[in-house]
Chains A and B, each alone.
Chain A
């Protein structure tokens, strides 16, 4: 059990400097290049990466704008593409709050929450005491964001020409890594939720590209929660 800041920092560096930073760098390279082609400046591209900090919303913003959508529609589509941050924050922040003196900091720290930090936290927190989880999260989040910003700039200037199969492989690393990571989940209600989410995500996406993911999460998550409770009563 990690219960001091030093070891928590070291664990965060070790966890972040593997797949997460490689993947973020790679996927933000793709975003940087897309933003450049769509007429955004470097400053705007970096601001979108750090400010939105969720690839689906960043891509939606840039693509809808490039397609000539009205401003309101582009903003709405981009925001909805990252609506998952609300349930993610609710299911993450209570795990780290013991190490934070003033609740106000949460409104700053929540900006670094992403698929990566959420999943890394779910994986690492059972081995980290509640009092130093915030330390882990901050270092992990900063390293991830740096990797994302570097990737954005590299992609923007188009110097990331590494050959087509390798470039596709880097993009594929994203879903592959997360698929393997959440497959390692051993908490029962979460396992049910994952199994339900795999078909529901794409199915709801075809019903509504904007609201699909949120609707899939609420439907499958509620069902998983209910099934788990139900089986708990019978046991």
Chain B
């Protein structure tokens, strides 16, 4: 088998292996009452996973973000959150402030 056919096989297999989770979720979702306890529990699990994923992206990032010191990543997120709660929960302003702090510090320190 040539290299390209083998890679395509890998690509398709990984797509199917990921779709399996979506498929199972769709199967289970059919029987679930959005006002019931099971739905509330799975929503809690989802929120916890997302919070865990986001905190992992900041604290233990993959890719180029690793090269930016932890304190700069933390400063960006904390400033974003502080502005969000202090200035009337406006997404655009909060994200822009956090981003400005992050990019500013990264540029100033020549990261």
Contact = CB atoms under 8 A, between A and B. Distances in A.
Interface in A207-229: 213-214, 216-222, 224-225, 228-229
Nearest to A113: B22
Interface in A38-66: 39-41, 44, 47-48, 51-54, 56-57, 59, 61, 65
A221 B47 contact: yes
Given A201-B51, A202-B60, A85 B21 contact: yes
A201 B89 contact: no
Interface in B79-96: 80-81, 84-85, 89, 91-92, 94-95
Interface in A74-125: 74-76, 78-79, 82-95, 97, 103, 106-107, 110-111, 113, 115, 118-119
A79 to B, nearest CB: 4
A90 B20 contact: no
Contact of A189 (B9, B44, B91, B106): B44
Nearest to B59: A202
Contact of B80 (A75, A119, A179): A179
A19 interface: yes
Contacts of B53: 56, 84, 115, 201, 213
Interface string B58-101: 11111111011000010011001100110001011011001100
A217 B34 contact: no
B81 A82 contact: no
A205 interface: yes
A195 B54 CA distance: 12
A91 B46 CA distance: 7
A133 B73 CA distance: 35
B77 A175 contact: yes
A200 interface: yes
Contacts of A169: 99, 102-103, 106
Contact of A71 (B10, B51, B98): B10
Contact of A75 (B14, B34, B56): B14
Q: Is the interface of B mostly helix, strand, loop or mixed?
A: helix
A44 B8 CA distance: 7
A217 B48 contact: yes
Contact of B45 (A180, A204, A221): A221
Contacts of B77: 175-176, 179
Nearest to B62: A59
Contacts of A115: 50, 53
A168 interface: yes
20 contacts: A47-B12, A51-B12, A65-B7, A71-B13, A74-B14, A78-B18, A79-B21, A85-B21, A86-B25, A88-B49, A94-B33, A164-B111, A165-B111, A166-B103, A172-B103, A175-B58, A192-B44, A197-B55, A201-B49, A205-B52
Nearest 10 A-B pairs (CB), nearest first? A201-B52, A89-B25, A197-B51, A221-B45, A217-B49, A51-B15, A220-B48, A79-B17, A93-B29, A197-B48
